[in-house]
Structure 1
Amino acid sequence: MMLDDIGGMATGWLIAALALGIAELVVPGVFLIFLAVAAAITAALLVAVPGVALPVQLLSFAVWSAVAVAVGRRWYRDFPVTGGDARLNDRTARMIGSVARLETAIEHGRGRVTIDDGSWPARGPELPAGSAVRIVAVDGGVVVVEAED
């Protein structure tokens, strides 16, 4: 079968599938992707069986929409989307528990520590430069450290 023989209705359903897929990207979490799948299956039906009447096409879309949503709901129930790391965009919170090296000695409770590619002011017990320290808290822009065992 040549592409020209498919007809306008299959193309219309493919355009609907594409539009619903794009809408899902713009408005995430609305389950429009399942309707897009149903529209694509309806288009495939028209390619396989040309000349299907419009009421049958609409029935096909409705049935496949229900099936796709049911399968999707079951998928999300069986494989829930996790919330991810709550500290993802909080760099200071992500530092807590990590080990770093003192850039300068901690004298009178103050010093500097190298973390990744930056230098941070540090507060903690008296320690020589180069000591390994564990970050236990972040107070404003100052990291609170303790000696790493």
Structure 2
Amino acid sequence: MNPKKKPSYTDEQVKILSQNPYTHVAMPNKVTFTLEFKEFFVDQVRHHGLSTIKILKAAGYDPTLFSRAAIDNIRRRILAEAASPEGLKAPRGLSQAERTEAFAKKNLDAQRTSTSIKEMQQRIVHLEQQVEFFKKIQNIYLHPPGN
């Protein structure tokens, strides 16, 4: 981490951002979005003319977690990437689906029991966070803000 750069997100905000399925990686200084989010974002801008804040809400993000500069950068970077000759690209590193697949392929019998239990506990916590996120998203869709 660059010592001159102040973290943009608290640990709690990173945790909240990480729970969104459109988040590839959330760190104190950076949020990386999935290819699916980028495609959704471009579609919402091009076909519906939505603002970045409305798109973030529709994707299940709390726009207040992002600074004005971050919101402007999200729009600028995604639209520039979409307009580039290569088009939209998937973020580097394993996606959540790939991590899940890798976990499923592990031979847990060959691992030490305590390591296996620790990994399963971490997976359970993550899955519980996802369930809570989906509950919140469902509530947003059932009771949209401003209605």
Q: TM range, normalised to the smaller chain?
A: under 0.3
TM-score (normalizing by structure 1)? 0.23
Which protein has greater RCO, CA pairs closer than 8 Å, 6+ apart?
A: 2
Structure showing greater radius of gyration is 1
More helix by share: 2
